[in-house]
Amino acid sequence: MASALIAAVPAPPTGLCVPPGVYRPQADTGLLAQALVHEGIGPGTDVMDIGTGSGALALLAASRGARVTAVDVSRRAVAAARLNGTRLGLPVRVLHGDFAAVSRGRRFDIVLANPPYVPSPRARLPERGPGRAWEGGEAGREVIDRICARASALLRPGGVLLMVHSVLCGSRTTVDHLRRTGLSAEITMRGVVPWGPVLRSRRAWLEEQGLVGVGEEREGLVIVRAERPGR
């Protein structure tokens, strides 16, 4: 699949119930939704959605007939995703907990991941609160690297991982990590969006770390697509 440069990311899905404390679908959700549609999912496709939040991507997959398992560490997010599935009449199995634990022994045709990826001055990930949806540790890669290490075990032969994250995290690092596990991996989509409030609030720290230039106000997003060989 050829890489596509997208100057502006379209709006994410709307009309979902997103209570306080649950990650609201944003530009990264919209970009990942585009990538998912390109995979041609349909009835019989087994999909896992890691970090489902409000369930936007899980419900998109379910609306096309896929069998979907969604997971989130936030109990509020799990409740919201279940509620949205009920409201829309779409069957989605939503589980609370760590993705590696709840998926043990299962393999999927497609794994979606919108992990927390914002670099943070705090090395430890938060254990509660809405920040769990975006805080990725000092390099922004705490959860990304766990997904990379586990991806091959989650995929059936021919299965595909679609993961979105910021270029601040090192997109080449993600591709290299996935390839070392035996997957074919590449960046297939890119987007550029204005900074949100979290990045703006830590501008000085990001500049000190050399992660952004002085006065920078736009963030690059990437979709990394990895496929397990065989069918």
Domains and CATH numbers, the chain: 23-227 (3.40.50.150)
C-beta separation of 149 from 181 below 8 A: yes
**Where does residue 105 rank: exposed (0-12), middle (13-18), buried (19+ CB within 10 A)?**
exposed
Phi then psi dihedrals of residue 31, to 5 deg: -65, -40
> What is the structure's pLDDT at 9?
39
Beta bridge partners of 220: 192
String of DSSP letters for 14-56: -S----TTSPPP-HHHHHHHHHHHHTT--TT-EEEEES-TTSH
Q: Name 87's Cβ contacts closer than 8 Å, sequence gap at least 6.
A: 17
Residue 14 has a pLDDT of 54
Give residue for tokens 């000092």: 138
Q: Give the Å distances, CA to CA, from 176 to 116, 149, 227.
A: 19, 11, 13
- Residue-by-residue pLDDT tens, the chain, 231 positions: 434 444 333 344 457 889 999 999 999 999 999 999 999 888 989 999 999 999 999 999 999 999 999 999 999 999 999 999 999 999 999 999 999 998 888 999 999 999 999 999 988 888 888 888 899 999 999 999 999 999 999 999 999 999 999 999 999 999 999 999 999 999 999 999 999 899 999 999 999 999 998 888 999 999 999 999 987
Helices 142-154 and 171-180: angle between axes, nearest 10 degrees: 30
Tokens for 178?
A: 């996935």
Written as one letter, the residue type at 68 is V
